[in-house]
Amino acid sequence: MKELFRRRYLISFFYIIICVIGISVWQLIPIENTPDLRKPVVTVSYSWGSTSPEVMEQEVTRKVEREANRLRDVEKIRSVTNEGRSSVTITFYKDAPVDYRVLELREYLLSLDETLPEGIRPPSISRQVPKELEDQQTFIVYSLNADLAPRALLEYTRNRIVPKLLGIEGLADVDIQGVLDPALIIEFDKGELEKYNLNPTSILAEVSGNLRWNSSGYVDQGDSRYSLILPPTYKTTADIAKQAIQIPNSKLQLTLDDIADISIGDTPARSIKRINGDPALTINFVKESGADAFTLARAIHQQMGEIKAQLPEKMVLRMTVDSSEELREQFESLQYQAMISAVLVFLVVILFVWRLRAPVIIIGSVAFSILLSVIVLYLIGYSLNMITLAGLTIALGMLIDNAVVVFEHLNPKLPSSRDERLEHVRQQLPKAVVPVLGSTFTTVGIFVPLLFAMEELRIFLLPLAVALTITLASSVIIAFSWIPYSLIWLTSLKQKQRVIKRIPRFLNRLLLHSFKWKARLKWLMIPAVILAVGIPLFAIEEPEWDNEEEPTNWPEFTKIYFENRDNIDPWVGGLTNKFFNETYFGSPWKRSITETIYVSLRAPQGTPLSEINKVAKNFETIAKPYEHAFEYYEVNMSETYGARMQFVVKPEYLFEYAPYQYFGEASFLGARTGNLVTSVSGFGQGNTFGSLGGGYSQHSIRLYGYSYDELLGLAKELERRLKKSRRVREVDINKGYGYRSRGDFRQYVMKMDDERLLAKNLDRGKVLSRMQLDLRSQTNQGKVEFGGQEMFLLGKTDDGRSYQEDVLNKVREFGDVKFNVAAIGEVVKEKGLTSIIRDNQQYQRIVAVDYLGNYRMASNYIDEVLERTPVPVGTSIKYGGGFFSFGNEDKTRNIWFISLLSLLSVWMIVSALLESWKYPMFVIMAVPYSALGIMMGVLVNDMAFDKGAIAGALLSIGVVVNNAILLYHQKQLENGRGIFGLRCWMYVYKKRLRAILITTSTTITGLLPMMLFGTNEFWENLAIVVIWGLSASTILLLLMTGVRIIKQEQ
């Protein structure tokens, strides 16, 4: 070691290299909003018109699940089937090569297309990200609106805007949304089709084949082989109209224009977007992974500015989303916070040391640690993003800890000559190894249990753990090299030693009196801490005293407590009772802080989009007189969710009457609008008018099984048994999942009489083949290339809507047999499931019970019914707990498990460093001390205990034990010198009190800017928890340490 520090040029060049490479890497390392936090979860989605969930599940979902089961490394498969939509979510094991599995899945789905029903749109495959970062995955979005037809707007965007953007470096894709591609529409004459017994689907398939490039084998010429490809047969609609159609069972032929009209038009939209009353579309920019967000955003905005200057009159291009702006604000905020932290730390060190060299050396250590950590992050492929930047900022206070500990071991009694300094460093530096490594390992060690955390917590905190670990490891290297090097070679050889005798005497008397008061107040301080923490009697569930079948084991006299626990628990439970009763656990819902008026329309099932559009236009019409008060107003409509409108108010009009008057008129219009649920909200107020049915039930029974029909039969049997009680008002066997599920979902079921079919010489296949034209008025054959652009190929048979009477009474003909549906069966309208859910091929179904009575009576009655109900093999029933508590128990258990593992990890590290089983127990006492501070901080700041607070609590476990390690390691050194008891603790406090106060103060001041000026709730909550926990732990540790030994000495 002594020889190493003699080589000042070697160490000097090492730090010069760190400076040069670090500054260069800081300019090269990519900056992005979030790292690649995609989970090993893939979702496959199909859409098929308005097909009922049951048909969608049978025809699509089951087949996709079968193909997904062929994949390797699959942990879980979950499917959700809704009206016209199927989603299959595949969860892979943690280390699975997801990208390769996605390629295999695409191949399987490609072969599956031949077996799927016609008209299904191609699948979309997406990767899942944490919910907290979903809104940050969108990079930049522009909107374009004009008084043009949607198709004209789309053509202008594709031809005049997109080509100018594709050459930008770092841009992966430009996605246009809001307007569908045009359609090649073949509108069949239903009468002619029925007359000649023609199948429109077969005709469309033949047209589609003639519009595609087709392979025709290959030819060999010498050593080369050439593939033969035939171009599309048709180039114009006139060519398509001349296609020959063979009449079944006849030698005669027709042409397509004899039975259909061919045209190019707009694809029938299932969603509409308008801005300021004009058709609109959105241009979504997709960033390449790892591309620098600032550079790419600057290039996009510059190019879009040039495009905007060349737009035709009355065509409006505006930016609606720019996540790089938020990242820029966070980056500038973190830089600002880091500067404030550095200044505060500088002042704190000056306050304690009163020498200029101390803060210069310590700040230099921090700067070199950050540069070295940035170099390592760059080499392992990490970027600077909101997580790694915040990790570096959080580590700032802890970087100073290591520097201060080493400095405080070397700086006192620093000799004047360099040879003596080298010998001084050789003797004193090893004494700093245990505190520094203890501080680093305990902080890093708390992240080891994250390997056992739930996926949603691990994937979010793992980048933070990597950034902190690399930064702290860098700080250890720098602290053990930079500080000795600075004190030996960069500090002046002339040292003026100031000897002040009164201050040590005063400190000696102060410390001595403090230890005496500790001993005298021993029996007061310990109970005070216990009462502050509290006795968690509130966690005990109240026993059922009147239950004769299962009598309680609690003694009779405890009944007094349970009857008066509301008055006793606040006194006995202490801070813990207040914390658990008044704190919201989880992430609370967030509301937009912008002044916007929101209007929502929710229509009954089956409402045409045109009817929703009429109602939405009414709200746009009354907004015309107030257009000057809005930045813009936007309308998004869909047959699935209805209409969602937002009217963004200009800031200068917040004190004018116009926006408030429109809010009143919109509320009045919503109240007058019937057959829809209308919601108008804004300015902190909201009104909802109308209802679509559905209700709230306090009791939910969950059924699980592998057979859909058996599960449905069990649900009906439960419904029959439960309704025997007059107190049961309603039993819903089709209860949806989630508070947004529809309660008005209905479906038509055709029930055929087999005897009547046999009497008319018919079967189900023949009947359905003749009803196809009525049941499928529109067929989508996917996309084809025609006229130099991609478009949908659509077949239409009727623009009208079919009614139940038309389907039942219409006379149809099959061969020589004429029939109508009413003669062979019936069409029944039934309530159906809005969502069909399967986990690993096991169906789930909820049965909701509306019971007139208190909760305990209902629970007992349902339990009795369930006990008497026979359950088929492979089927299970679960009852108990509300819907919203489903899964929370596992999360809570996992959080407690991670906390205990973190505590065990810290204890093992401290035991290994101190080579003792006894002292680590006293060190661990710093953790419950910090728990008091954490609870106080959460209550005082009225914050939710969300993921940021959880991360802060875990981080506190590693941080707060650092001070205890300093104390007990110094105690070991004094014991080794033969000093024990009160004299030992006097020496410990005299030598380590300043280091403890410096490290605590610098860590707190390093995090203060994040708490006071932070713009991100996650990191703000994390800083609050660490500051309060560390403060309380330090104060209580200094007050409570050494009480028992001092008492024995006296």
Q: Are 704 and 816 in contact (CB under 8 A)?
A: no
Among 476, 499, 522, identify where a domain stops.
499
Specify the pLDDT at position 37. 59
- Quote the CA–CA distance of 701 and 878 in Å, as a whole number: 6
Q: Three-state DSSP class for 18?
A: helix
- Quote the CA–CA distance of 182 and 925 in Å, as a whole number: 70
Verify that 648 and 756 share a domain, yes or no. no
Q: Are 811 and 819 in contact (CB under 8 A)?
A: yes
Mean pLDDT of 167-182: 82
* Least confident window among 59-63, 274-278, 344-348: 344-348
> Does the residue 1044 lie in any domain?
no
> Which CATH number do you get for residue 848?
3.30.70.600
- Quote the CA–CA distance of 277 and 138 in Å, as a whole number: 25
Specify the pLDDT at position 741. 59
Strand locations in 531-674 (E): 596-602, 630-638, 642-649
Verify that 721 and 861 share a domain, yes or no. yes
> Does the residue 1050 lie in any domain?
no
Domain housing 818: 699-771+802-884
Q: Is the pLDDT of residue 641 over 70?
A: yes
Q: What is the pLDDT of residues 406-432, one digit of tens each?
A: 888 888 888 888 888 888 888 888 888
Specify the pLDDT at position 147. 86
> Does the residue 890 lie in any domain?
no
Verify that 639 and 754 share a domain, yes or no. no
Q: 35 φ, ψ to 5°?
A: -75, 175
Distances (CA, A) of 1025 to 577, 933, 944: 18, 8, 11
> Which CATH number do you get for residue 656?
3.30.70.1430
Q: What is the pLDDT of residues 1001-1044, one digit of tens each?
A: 888 887 888 788 766 777 788 889 989 998 999 888 888 876 55
Mean pLDDT of 898-912: 78
Verify that 24 and 51 share a domain, yes or no. no
Region at 653 (left for phi over 0; alpha for psi -120 to 50; beta for the rest): alpha
Q: Is the pLDDT of residue 981 over 90?
A: no
Report for 112-121, 214-223, 242-251, 732-741: range of highest mean pLDDT: 242-251
Verify that 732 and 868 share a domain, yes or no. yes
Q: 185 φ, ψ to 5°?
A: -105, 125
Q: What is the pLDDT of residues 697-739, one digit of tens each?
A: 568 899 999 888 889 899 999 999 999 988 888 888 888 765 4
Radius of gyration of the CA atoms of the chain, in A = 37
3-state helix, strand, coil in the chain (%, to 5): 55, 20, 25
Specify the pLDDT at position 841. 82
- Supply 786's token pair: 């025609």
Is 210 buried (19+), middle (13-18) or exposed (0-12) by CB count in 10 A? middle
In this prediction the pTM is 0.61
Verify that 21 and 55 share a domain, yes or no. no
Specify the pLDDT at position 1010. 79
Mean per-residue pLDDT of the chain: 81
> Does the residue 174 lie in any domain?
no
Verify that 392 and 458 share a domain, yes or no. yes
Verify that 24 and 43 share a domain, yes or no. no
- Quote the CA–CA distance of 660 and 667 in Å, as a whole number: 11
Q: What is the pLDDT of residues 275-294, one digit of tens each?
A: 888 888 889 888 876 677 77
> Does the residue 323 lie in any domain?
no
> Does the residue 187 lie in any domain?
no
Verify that 605 and 468 share a domain, yes or no. no
Specify the pLDDT at position 885. 37
Give per-residue burial for 566-593: e unless 16+ CB within 10 Å, then b.
Answer: eebbeeebbbbbbbbeeeeeeeeeeeee
How many domains does the chain fold into?
Answer: 4
> Does the residue 135 lie in any domain?
no
Distance of CA 222 to the CA centre of its chain: 59
Q: What is the pLDDT of residues 740-787, one digit of tens each?
A: 556 667 777 888 888 888 888 887 777 776 777 666 777 777 788 887
The residue among 731 and 118 whose pLDDT is bigger is: 731
Among 474, 499, 524, identify where a domain stops.
499
- When pLDDT is cut at 50, 70 and 90, the band that residue 33 belongs to is low
Task: State which amino acid sits at residue 809.
Answer: N
CA-wise closest residue to 430 among 987, 907, 973 = 973
Verify that 745 and 672 share a domain, yes or no. no
Residue tagged 């509300």 (tokens): 882
Residue tagged 């929703």 (tokens): 612
> Does the residue 475 lie in any domain?
yes
Q: Is the pLDDT of residue 591 over 50?
A: no
Q: What is the pLDDT of residues 831-866, one digit of tens each?
A: 878 888 888 888 988 888 888 877 778 888 898 899
- Quote the CA–CA distance of 30 and 374 in Å, as a whole number: 11
Q: 1042 φ, ψ to 5°?
A: 85, 5
Q: Is the pLDDT of residue 801 over 90?
A: no
- What is the helix (H) or strand (E) element at residue 319, kind and residue range? strand 316-322
Mean pLDDT of 164-193: 84
- Quote the CA–CA distance of 138 and 608 in Å, as a whole number: 31
CA-wise closest residue to 598 among 661, 550, 507, 663 = 663
- What is the helix (H) or strand (E) element at residue 15, kind and residue range? helix 8-28
Q: Is the pLDDT of residue 692 over 50?
A: yes
Q: What is the pLDDT of residues 521-578, one digit of tens each?
A: 767 777 888 888 888 887 777 776 766 656 777 887 888 888 888 888 888 888 888 8
Specify the pLDDT at position 624. 92
- When pLDDT is cut at 50, 70 and 90, the band that residue 223 belongs to is confident
- Count CB-CB contacts under 10 A for residue 639: 20
Verify that 655 and 738 share a domain, yes or no. no
Identify any residues that bridge with 202 across adjacent strands, giving them in sequence order.
none
Q: Are 89 and 79 in contact (CB under 8 A)?
A: yes
Verify that 434 and 394 share a domain, yes or no. yes
Specify the pLDDT at position 887. 42
Mean pLDDT of 785-814: 75
Residue tagged 């909701």 (tokens): 848
Is 763 buried (19+), middle (13-18) or exposed (0-12) by CB count in 10 A? middle
Is 556 buried (19+), middle (13-18) or exposed (0-12) by CB count in 10 A? exposed
- Supply 679's token pair: 């919601």
Q: Is the pLDDT of residue 1049 over 50?
A: no
Q: What is the pLDDT of residues 448-501, one digit of tens each?
A: 666 665 555 566 667 777 888 888 889 899 999 999 999 888 887 765 444 444
CA-wise closest residue to 282 among 128, 179, 184 = 179
> Which CATH number do you get for residue 373?
1.20.1640.10
DSSP β-ladder status, 271-275 and 278-287: antiparallel
- When pLDDT is cut at 50, 70 and 90, the band that residue 113 belongs to is confident
Specify the pLDDT at position 658. 92
- When pLDDT is cut at 50, 70 and 90, the band that residue 27 belongs to is confident
DSSP 137-159: S--EEEEEE-SS-HHHHHHHIII
Q: Are 30 and 383 in contact (CB under 8 A)?
A: yes
Among 479, 499, 519, identify where a domain stops.
499
- Quote the CA–CA distance of 153 and 308 in Å, as a whole number: 15
Distances (CA, A) of 328 to 33, 322, 461, 785: 9, 10, 22, 42
Q: Is the pLDDT of residue 817 over 80?
A: no
* Least confident window among 245-249, 657-661, 677-681, 1043-1047: 1043-1047
- Quote the CA–CA distance of 206 and 592 in Å, as a whole number: 52
Give per-residue burial for 998-1011: e unless 16+ CB within 10 Å, then b.
Answer: bbbbbbbbbbbbbb
- Count CB-CB contacts under 10 A for residue 563: 12
Give per-residue burial for 845-881: e unless 16+ CB within 10 Å, then b.
Answer: bbbbbbbeeeeeebbebbeebbeeeeeeeebeeebee
Q: Is the pLDDT of residue 616 over 90?
A: yes
Specify the pLDDT at position 15. 92
Q: Is the pLDDT of residue 592 over 60?
A: no
Specify the pLDDT at position 593. 47
Looking at residue 731, the DSSP 8-state letter turns out to be E
Q: Is the pLDDT of residue 882 over 50?
A: no
